[in-house]
Amino acid sequence: MRFEKNVGERYRRSVEDAFATIIAKGNDEHRHVMNEIMRSDLLIRVQPVSEINASGITGVINSVKTNYKLATERMSLREALGEIYIAIAEETIDNGGQRGCEGTFVHEGRHAYDFAQTLESLSNADVNPLGIFNPTLYELELAAHKTSGDYMLCVDKDEYLEEGLGLMILCRESDGQCSVSDDGINTRLRDSYGLAVDANQGATASEMMGIVV
Protein backbone atom coordinates (compact mmCIF):
# COMPACT_ATOMS: atom_id res chain seq x y z
CA MET A 1 0.00 0.00 0.00
CA ARG A 2 1.02 3.59 -0.42
CA PHE A 3 0.13 6.84 1.30
CA GLU A 4 -1.06 10.10 -0.19
CA LYS A 5 1.92 12.47 -0.10
CA ASN A 6 0.33 14.84 2.42
CA VAL A 7 -0.23 12.15 5.10
CA GLY A 8 1.88 13.02 8.14
CA GLU A 9 4.24 10.62 9.88
CA ARG A 10 2.04 10.28 12.99
CA TYR A 11 -0.95 9.22 10.92
CA ARG A 12 1.20 6.85 8.87
CA ARG A 13 2.39 5.13 12.03
CA SER A 14 -1.16 4.80 13.32
CA VAL A 15 -2.30 3.18 10.07
CA GLU A 16 0.70 0.85 9.92
CA ASP A 17 0.19 -0.11 13.57
CA ALA A 18 -3.49 -0.82 12.88
CA PHE A 19 -2.65 -3.15 10.00
CA ALA A 20 -0.05 -4.95 12.11
CA THR A 21 -2.54 -5.40 14.97
CA ILE A 22 -5.30 -6.66 12.67
CA ILE A 23 -2.91 -9.23 11.21
CA ALA A 24 -1.77 -10.29 14.68
CA LYS A 25 -5.20 -10.47 16.34
CA GLY A 26 -7.63 -11.13 13.50
CA ASN A 27 -8.72 -14.37 11.86
CA ASP A 28 -7.55 -15.88 8.58
CA GLU A 29 -9.87 -13.67 6.53
CA HIS A 30 -8.63 -10.50 8.22
CA ARG A 31 -5.02 -11.52 7.69
CA HIS A 32 -5.62 -12.35 4.03
CA VAL A 33 -7.34 -9.05 3.26
CA MET A 34 -4.77 -6.94 5.12
CA ASN A 35 -1.83 -8.74 3.54
CA GLU A 36 -3.28 -8.35 0.04
CA ILE A 37 -3.78 -4.64 0.64
CA MET A 38 -0.28 -4.17 2.07
CA ARG A 39 1.28 -5.94 -0.92
CA SER A 40 -0.67 -3.84 -3.41
CA ASP A 41 -0.58 -0.18 -4.47
CA LEU A 42 -3.86 0.68 -2.73
CA LEU A 43 -3.81 4.35 -1.75
CA ILE A 44 -4.31 5.45 1.87
CA ARG A 45 -5.65 8.94 2.47
CA VAL A 46 -6.14 10.73 5.79
CA GLN A 47 -8.63 13.61 5.57
CA PRO A 48 -10.79 15.73 7.88
CA VAL A 49 -14.18 14.18 8.61
CA SER A 50 -15.75 17.31 7.09
CA GLU A 51 -14.39 16.20 3.71
CA ILE A 52 -15.43 12.55 3.77
CA ASN A 53 -18.48 12.71 6.10
CA ALA A 54 -17.65 9.34 7.65
CA SER A 55 -15.04 7.61 9.79
CA GLY A 56 -13.74 6.10 6.56
CA ILE A 57 -14.71 5.66 2.91
CA THR A 58 -13.51 3.50 0.03
CA GLY A 59 -13.59 4.24 -3.68
CA VAL A 60 -11.79 4.28 -7.03
CA ILE A 61 -8.90 6.72 -7.35
CA ASN A 62 -9.68 7.69 -10.95
CA SER A 63 -12.73 6.10 -12.57
CA VAL A 64 -11.78 7.31 -16.06
CA LYS A 65 -8.40 5.58 -15.91
CA THR A 66 -9.90 2.46 -14.34
CA ASN A 67 -12.58 2.23 -17.04
CA TYR A 68 -9.88 2.52 -19.70
CA LYS A 69 -7.84 -0.26 -18.10
CA LEU A 70 -10.89 -2.50 -17.91
CA ALA A 71 -11.51 -1.94 -21.62
CA THR A 72 -7.92 -2.63 -22.67
CA GLU A 73 -6.31 -5.09 -20.27
CA ARG A 74 -6.85 -7.77 -17.67
CA MET A 75 -6.30 -7.15 -13.97
CA SER A 76 -5.22 -9.41 -11.18
CA LEU A 77 -6.72 -8.87 -7.74
CA ARG A 78 -3.60 -7.11 -6.53
CA GLU A 79 -3.48 -4.87 -9.60
CA ALA A 80 -7.15 -4.05 -9.04
CA LEU A 81 -6.41 -3.05 -5.44
CA GLY A 82 -4.03 -0.47 -6.88
CA GLU A 83 -7.05 1.28 -8.42
CA ILE A 84 -8.67 1.71 -5.00
CA TYR A 85 -8.26 4.18 -2.15
CA ILE A 86 -9.29 4.06 1.49
CA ALA A 87 -9.70 7.40 3.23
CA ILE A 88 -9.81 7.51 7.02
CA ALA A 89 -10.90 10.60 8.92
CA GLU A 90 -8.26 12.40 10.95
CA GLU A 91 -10.75 12.47 13.83
CA THR A 92 -11.09 8.68 13.73
CA ILE A 93 -7.40 8.44 14.61
CA ASP A 94 -7.27 11.50 16.88
CA ASN A 95 -10.35 10.65 18.94
CA GLY A 96 -10.89 6.93 18.39
CA GLY A 97 -7.29 5.90 18.92
CA GLN A 98 -6.01 2.57 17.66
CA ARG A 99 -9.36 0.85 18.23
CA GLY A 100 -11.05 3.32 15.92
CA CYS A 101 -8.28 3.00 13.36
CA GLU A 102 -8.38 -0.80 13.45
CA GLY A 103 -12.16 -0.88 13.17
CA THR A 104 -12.18 1.44 10.19
CA PHE A 105 -9.61 -0.57 8.28
CA VAL A 106 -11.28 -3.89 9.04
CA HIS A 107 -14.55 -2.50 7.65
CA GLU A 108 -13.19 -0.43 4.77
CA GLY A 109 -10.56 -3.05 3.97
CA ARG A 110 -13.38 -5.52 3.27
CA HIS A 111 -14.98 -2.96 0.94
CA ALA A 112 -11.66 -2.39 -0.85
CA TYR A 113 -11.12 -6.12 -1.29
CA ASP A 114 -14.65 -6.59 -2.65
CA PHE A 115 -14.26 -3.63 -5.02
CA ALA A 116 -11.01 -5.17 -6.27
CA GLN A 117 -12.71 -8.53 -6.76
CA THR A 118 -15.34 -6.75 -8.84
CA LEU A 119 -12.72 -5.04 -11.01
CA GLU A 120 -10.76 -8.25 -11.47
CA SER A 121 -13.85 -10.19 -12.50
CA LEU A 122 -15.02 -7.49 -14.93
CA SER A 123 -11.59 -7.36 -16.57
CA ASN A 124 -11.88 -11.09 -17.26
CA ALA A 125 -15.57 -11.13 -18.18
CA ASP A 126 -14.89 -12.00 -21.81
CA VAL A 127 -13.31 -15.32 -20.85
CA ASN A 128 -15.28 -15.97 -17.67
CA PRO A 129 -18.68 -14.24 -17.90
CA LEU A 130 -20.16 -16.49 -15.21
CA GLY A 131 -17.43 -15.39 -12.80
CA ILE A 132 -18.51 -11.75 -12.59
CA PHE A 133 -18.58 -10.55 -8.99
CA ASN A 134 -20.67 -7.40 -8.58
CA PRO A 135 -22.30 -7.25 -5.14
CA THR A 136 -24.97 -4.77 -4.11
CA LEU A 137 -24.47 -2.17 -1.41
CA TYR A 138 -26.49 -4.37 0.93
CA GLU A 139 -24.17 -7.32 0.27
CA LEU A 140 -21.07 -5.14 0.67
CA GLU A 141 -22.23 -3.70 3.97
CA LEU A 142 -23.40 -7.07 5.27
CA ALA A 143 -19.95 -8.55 4.62
CA ALA A 144 -18.14 -5.55 6.13
CA HIS A 145 -20.31 -5.53 9.26
CA LYS A 146 -19.88 -9.27 9.78
CA THR A 147 -16.11 -9.12 9.42
CA SER A 148 -16.07 -6.18 11.87
CA GLY A 149 -18.01 -8.28 14.37
CA ASP A 150 -15.66 -11.20 13.87
CA TYR A 151 -12.70 -8.91 14.58
CA MET A 152 -14.25 -7.62 17.79
CA LEU A 153 -14.68 -11.22 18.94
CA CYS A 154 -11.09 -12.04 18.00
CA VAL A 155 -9.71 -9.16 20.09
CA ASP A 156 -12.12 -10.07 22.92
CA LYS A 157 -11.61 -6.93 25.00
CA ASP A 158 -14.45 -5.19 26.83
CA GLU A 159 -14.19 -1.92 24.90
CA TYR A 160 -14.36 -3.73 21.55
CA LEU A 161 -17.26 -5.94 22.64
CA GLU A 162 -19.20 -3.04 24.14
CA GLU A 163 -18.83 -1.09 20.92
CA GLY A 164 -20.09 -4.08 18.94
CA LEU A 165 -23.08 -4.48 21.23
CA GLY A 166 -23.88 -0.79 20.98
CA LEU A 167 -23.77 -0.92 17.19
CA MET A 168 -25.97 -4.07 17.14
CA ILE A 169 -23.18 -5.92 15.31
CA LEU A 170 -22.85 -8.25 18.30
CA CYS A 171 -25.38 -9.74 20.66
CA ARG A 172 -25.01 -11.46 24.01
CA GLU A 173 -26.03 -15.11 24.23
CA SER A 174 -27.79 -16.69 27.21
CA ASP A 175 -24.46 -17.88 28.57
CA GLY A 176 -23.11 -14.32 28.59
CA GLN A 177 -20.83 -14.82 25.60
CA CYS A 178 -20.96 -12.45 22.62
CA SER A 179 -21.58 -13.49 19.02
CA VAL A 180 -22.13 -11.78 15.67
CA SER A 181 -25.79 -10.81 15.36
CA ASP A 182 -27.31 -11.31 11.91
CA ASP A 183 -30.59 -9.82 13.13
CA GLY A 184 -28.85 -6.81 14.65
CA ILE A 185 -26.80 -6.16 11.52
CA ASN A 186 -29.87 -6.38 9.30
CA THR A 187 -31.72 -3.97 11.62
CA ARG A 188 -28.78 -1.58 11.45
CA LEU A 189 -28.60 -1.81 7.65
CA ARG A 190 -32.33 -1.16 7.38
CA ASP A 191 -32.46 1.74 9.84
CA SER A 192 -29.14 3.43 9.07
CA TYR A 193 -28.71 2.65 5.36
CA GLY A 194 -32.26 1.96 4.16
CA LEU A 195 -31.14 -1.45 2.88
CA ALA A 196 -32.81 -4.86 3.09
CA VAL A 197 -32.25 -8.20 1.40
CA ASP A 198 -35.87 -8.46 0.28
CA ALA A 199 -36.35 -4.79 -0.62
CA ASN A 200 -33.84 -2.09 -1.51
CA GLN A 201 -30.34 -3.56 -1.89
CA GLY A 202 -28.85 -0.35 -3.26
CA ALA A 203 -26.42 0.19 -6.12
CA THR A 204 -23.97 -2.45 -7.32
CA ALA A 205 -20.24 -2.18 -6.66
CA SER A 206 -19.55 -1.28 -10.30
CA GLU A 207 -22.14 1.51 -10.17
CA MET A 208 -20.65 2.90 -6.97
CA MET A 209 -17.20 2.93 -8.58
CA GLY A 210 -18.43 4.63 -11.75
CA ILE A 211 -17.56 1.64 -13.92
CA VAL A 212 -19.30 1.61 -17.30
CA VAL A 213 -17.33 -1.03 -19.22
In a domain, 131, yes or no: yes
Say what percent of the chain tops pLDDT 70: 100
Q: Residue 171 — pLDDT band, cuts 50, 70, 90?
A: very high
Which domain does 137 fall in, by range? 2-208
Q: Residue 212 — pLDDT band, cuts 50, 70, 90?
A: very high
Point out which residues pair with 146 in neighbouring strands.
Answer: none
In a domain, 164, yes or no: yes
Is the pLDDT confidence value at 192 over 80? Answer: yes
Please state the rounded mean pLDDT for residues 180-204: 96
In a domain, 20, yes or no: yes
pTM, entire model: 0.96
Say what percent of the chain tops pLDDT 90: 95
Please state the rounded mean pLDDT for residues 23-42: 98
Q: What is the pLDDT of residue 86?
A: 98
Over residues 102-135, the pLDDT tens digits come to 999 999 999 999 999 999 999 999 888 888 999 9
In a domain, 181, yes or no: yes
Q: Residue 213 — pLDDT band, cuts 50, 70, 90?
A: confident
Looking at per-residue pLDDT, the higher value among 86 and 199 belongs to 86
In a domain, 213, yes or no: no
In a domain, 82, yes or no: yes
Structural domain tally of the chain?
1
Q: What is the pLDDT of residue 157?
A: 96
